[in-house]
Amino acid sequence: YYRRSWSSESSDSVISSESSSNCYRVVLIGEHGVGKSSLANIFAGVHDSIDSDCEVLGEDTYERTLMVDGESATIILLDMWDNKREGEWIREHCMQVGDAYLIVYSITDRASFEKASELRIQLRRARQKEDIPIILVGNKSDLVRCREVSVAEGRACAVVFDCKFIETSAAVQHNVKELFEGIVRQVRLRRDSKEK
Protein backbone atom coordinates (compact mmCIF):
# COMPACT_ATOMS: atom_id res chain seq x y z
CA TYR A 1 0.00 0.00 0.00
CA TYR A 2 2.75 2.41 0.92
CA ARG A 3 5.08 1.12 -1.72
CA ARG A 4 4.42 3.72 -4.34
CA SER A 5 5.47 6.71 -2.31
CA TRP A 6 8.48 5.01 -0.74
CA SER A 7 9.89 3.28 -3.77
CA SER A 8 11.14 6.51 -5.30
CA GLU A 9 14.88 6.91 -5.66
CA SER A 10 14.74 10.49 -4.57
CA SER A 11 14.70 11.42 -0.91
CA ASP A 12 11.78 13.78 -1.31
CA SER A 13 9.55 11.06 -2.59
CA VAL A 14 6.31 12.93 -2.28
CA ILE A 15 7.30 15.51 -4.82
CA SER A 16 8.97 13.15 -7.25
CA SER A 17 6.07 10.71 -7.26
CA GLU A 18 3.94 13.57 -8.47
CA SER A 19 6.26 14.56 -11.26
CA SER A 20 4.73 11.97 -13.56
CA SER A 21 1.33 13.62 -13.31
CA ASN A 22 1.62 17.14 -14.68
CA CYS A 23 3.71 18.37 -11.78
CA TYR A 24 7.07 19.84 -12.72
CA ARG A 25 9.97 21.10 -10.67
CA VAL A 26 11.32 24.25 -12.30
CA VAL A 27 14.59 25.72 -11.04
CA LEU A 28 15.71 29.36 -11.34
CA ILE A 29 19.44 29.75 -11.85
CA GLY A 30 21.62 32.74 -12.76
CA GLU A 31 23.85 35.43 -11.33
CA HIS A 32 22.86 37.27 -8.18
CA GLY A 33 20.80 40.38 -8.89
CA VAL A 34 19.39 39.43 -12.28
CA GLY A 35 15.82 39.20 -10.99
CA LYS A 36 15.21 35.53 -10.13
CA SER A 37 13.40 36.26 -6.88
CA SER A 38 11.40 39.04 -8.53
CA LEU A 39 10.20 36.55 -11.16
CA ALA A 40 9.46 34.00 -8.43
CA ASN A 41 7.41 36.56 -6.52
CA ILE A 42 5.28 37.28 -9.55
CA PHE A 43 4.79 33.56 -10.04
CA ALA A 44 3.82 33.27 -6.39
CA GLY A 45 1.21 35.94 -6.89
CA VAL A 46 2.67 38.27 -4.30
CA HIS A 47 1.44 41.13 -6.47
CA ASP A 48 -2.04 39.73 -7.05
CA SER A 49 -4.64 41.60 -5.07
CA ILE A 50 -7.20 38.83 -5.38
CA ASP A 51 -7.20 35.10 -5.99
CA SER A 52 -3.77 33.92 -5.06
CA ASP A 53 -3.82 30.14 -5.14
CA CYS A 54 -0.11 29.80 -4.68
CA GLU A 55 1.17 27.70 -1.86
CA VAL A 56 4.49 28.68 -0.33
CA LEU A 57 6.17 25.37 0.46
CA GLY A 58 9.30 26.79 1.99
CA GLU A 59 11.24 30.00 2.13
CA ASP A 60 12.23 29.73 -1.53
CA THR A 61 9.87 27.14 -2.96
CA TYR A 62 6.52 27.98 -4.51
CA GLU A 63 3.80 25.82 -5.96
CA ARG A 64 1.11 26.88 -8.33
CA THR A 65 -1.24 25.22 -10.77
CA LEU A 66 -1.69 26.88 -14.16
CA MET A 67 -3.96 26.17 -17.08
CA VAL A 68 -1.86 25.94 -20.22
CA ASP A 69 -3.49 25.07 -23.56
CA GLY A 70 -6.53 23.72 -21.79
CA GLU A 71 -4.59 21.36 -19.56
CA SER A 72 -3.58 22.04 -15.99
CA ALA A 73 0.03 21.83 -14.85
CA THR A 74 1.51 22.29 -11.43
CA ILE A 75 4.85 24.02 -11.18
CA ILE A 76 7.02 23.75 -8.11
CA LEU A 77 9.37 26.70 -8.51
CA LEU A 78 12.71 26.63 -6.69
CA ASP A 79 14.51 29.93 -6.05
CA MET A 80 17.40 28.79 -3.88
CA TRP A 81 20.35 29.28 -6.19
CA ASP A 82 21.64 32.31 -4.26
CA ASN A 83 21.09 30.78 -0.84
CA LYS A 84 24.65 31.16 0.46
CA ARG A 85 23.63 30.27 3.98
CA GLU A 86 23.11 26.66 2.93
CA GLY A 87 26.52 26.41 1.30
CA GLU A 88 27.72 25.21 -2.09
CA TRP A 89 25.85 21.89 -1.95
CA ILE A 90 22.62 23.71 -2.70
CA ARG A 91 23.84 24.46 -6.23
CA GLU A 92 24.74 20.83 -6.83
CA HIS A 93 21.29 19.97 -5.53
CA CYS A 94 19.65 22.50 -7.87
CA MET A 95 21.52 21.02 -10.84
CA GLN A 96 20.14 17.57 -10.04
CA VAL A 97 16.53 18.11 -9.05
CA GLY A 98 15.02 20.21 -11.83
CA ASP A 99 12.62 18.84 -14.41
CA ALA A 100 13.20 22.13 -16.21
CA TYR A 101 15.40 25.23 -15.83
CA LEU A 102 15.11 28.97 -16.25
CA ILE A 103 18.59 30.37 -16.81
CA VAL A 104 18.24 34.07 -16.07
CA TYR A 105 20.53 36.96 -16.95
CA SER A 106 19.98 40.70 -16.95
CA ILE A 107 20.00 42.48 -20.31
CA THR A 108 21.76 45.34 -18.48
CA ASP A 109 24.65 43.17 -17.32
CA ARG A 110 26.87 41.46 -19.85
CA ALA A 111 28.72 39.48 -17.17
CA SER A 112 25.44 37.85 -16.16
CA PHE A 113 24.88 36.89 -19.81
CA GLU A 114 28.29 35.25 -19.97
CA LYS A 115 27.54 33.49 -16.71
CA ALA A 116 24.36 32.11 -18.26
CA SER A 117 26.43 30.29 -20.90
CA GLU A 118 28.63 28.84 -18.19
CA LEU A 119 25.58 27.58 -16.36
CA ARG A 120 24.23 25.97 -19.52
CA ILE A 121 27.49 24.04 -19.86
CA GLN A 122 27.45 23.01 -16.19
CA LEU A 123 23.89 21.80 -16.53
CA ARG A 124 24.74 19.77 -19.60
CA ARG A 125 27.60 18.15 -17.67
CA ALA A 126 25.49 17.46 -14.61
CA ARG A 127 22.65 15.85 -16.58
CA GLN A 128 24.51 14.39 -19.54
CA LYS A 129 22.08 12.06 -21.24
CA GLU A 130 18.92 13.95 -20.44
CA ASP A 131 17.12 16.29 -22.75
CA ILE A 132 16.21 18.91 -20.18
CA PRO A 133 13.84 21.75 -21.05
CA ILE A 134 15.55 25.10 -20.60
CA ILE A 135 14.54 28.66 -21.25
CA LEU A 136 17.19 31.36 -21.45
CA VAL A 137 15.65 34.43 -19.84
CA GLY A 138 16.87 37.97 -20.53
CA ASN A 139 15.26 39.89 -17.67
CA LYS A 140 14.98 43.66 -17.02
CA SER A 141 13.80 44.38 -20.56
CA ASP A 142 12.21 47.60 -19.24
CA LEU A 143 15.67 49.13 -18.73
CA VAL A 144 16.09 49.95 -22.41
CA ARG A 145 18.69 52.67 -21.93
CA CYS A 146 20.97 50.44 -19.87
CA ARG A 147 20.86 47.52 -22.29
CA GLU A 148 24.19 45.71 -22.71
CA VAL A 149 22.96 42.54 -24.40
CA SER A 150 20.88 42.75 -27.57
CA VAL A 151 17.85 40.61 -28.33
CA ALA A 152 19.75 39.11 -31.27
CA GLU A 153 22.61 38.03 -29.01
CA GLY A 154 20.22 36.41 -26.56
CA ARG A 155 18.44 34.59 -29.36
CA ALA A 156 21.71 33.43 -30.93
CA CYS A 157 22.93 32.15 -27.60
CA ALA A 158 19.75 30.12 -27.15
CA VAL A 159 20.25 28.56 -30.58
CA VAL A 160 23.78 27.51 -29.68
CA PHE A 161 22.63 26.12 -26.38
CA ASP A 162 19.61 24.43 -27.90
CA CYS A 163 17.02 26.04 -25.70
CA LYS A 164 14.17 28.55 -25.88
CA PHE A 165 14.64 32.27 -25.35
CA ILE A 166 12.47 35.03 -23.93
CA GLU A 167 13.00 38.55 -22.65
CA THR A 168 11.02 39.50 -19.55
CA SER A 169 10.55 42.35 -17.17
CA ALA A 170 9.68 41.49 -13.61
CA ALA A 171 9.41 45.22 -12.88
CA VAL A 172 6.59 45.88 -15.33
CA GLN A 173 5.44 42.24 -15.44
CA HIS A 174 6.09 41.82 -19.13
CA ASN A 175 6.23 38.26 -20.54
CA VAL A 176 6.33 36.68 -17.07
CA LYS A 177 3.14 34.68 -17.53
CA GLU A 178 4.38 33.68 -20.99
CA LEU A 179 7.63 32.49 -19.42
CA PHE A 180 5.94 30.04 -17.06
CA GLU A 181 3.51 28.87 -19.73
CA GLY A 182 6.47 28.42 -22.03
CA ILE A 183 8.33 26.14 -19.67
CA VAL A 184 5.23 23.98 -19.24
CA ARG A 185 4.99 23.66 -23.03
CA GLN A 186 8.65 22.69 -23.25
CA VAL A 187 8.21 19.92 -20.69
CA ARG A 188 5.09 18.67 -22.49
CA LEU A 189 6.79 18.63 -25.89
CA ARG A 190 9.38 16.22 -24.54
CA ARG A 191 6.82 14.16 -22.68
CA ASP A 192 4.66 13.84 -25.80
CA SER A 193 7.56 12.88 -28.03
CA LYS A 194 8.53 10.12 -25.57
CA GLU A 195 5.05 8.68 -25.68
CA LYS A 196 5.20 8.14 -29.43
- Interaction with ligand GDP in 55-84: which residues (CB under 6 A)? 82
Q: Which is nearer to ligand GDP, 15 or 171 (CB)?
A: 171
SS3 at position 64? strand
Phi-psi region of 166 (alpha: psi -120 to 50; beta: other; left: phi over 0): beta
Distance CA 25, CA 165 (A): 19
Q: Which is nearer to Mg ion, 82 or 109 (CB)?
A: 82
Tell me if 112 contacts ligand GDP by CB under 6 A.
Answer: no
CB nearest Mg ion: which residue? 37
Distance CA 77, CA 159 (A): 25
Instruction: Please enumerate in sequence order all residues whose Cβ is within 8 A of that of 118, keeping only pairs 6 or more positions apart, or say none.
Output: none
Least Å distance, CB 118 to ligand GDP, is: 16
Q: Which stretch binds ligand GDP (CB under 6 A): 19-27, 30-38, 47-55, 119-127?
A: 30-38
Q: Which of 68, 126, 132, 143 binds ligand GDP (CB under 6 A)?
A: 143
Q: Cβ atoms within 10 A of the Cβ of 70, count?
A: 5
State how far the alpha carbon of 53 is from the alpha carbons of 21, 34, 60, 66, in Å: 19, 26, 16, 10
Q: Which of 171, 185, 188, 191 binds ligand GDP (CB under 6 A)?
A: 171
State how far the alpha carbon of 79 is from the alpha carbons of 27, 61, 72, 183, in Å: 7, 6, 22, 15
Q: Which of 16, 19, 37, 74 binds Mg ion (CB under 5 A)?
A: 37
Least Å distance, CB 42 to ligand GDP, is: 9
Q: Which is nearer to ligand GDP, 123 or 170 (CB)?
A: 170
Chain-centre distance for alpha carbon 41: 13
Q: Which stretch binds Mg ion (CB under 5 A): 12-20, 37-45, 156-164, 177-185?
A: 37-45
Residues near ligand GDP (CB under 6 A) are 32-38, 82, 139-140, 142-143, 169-171
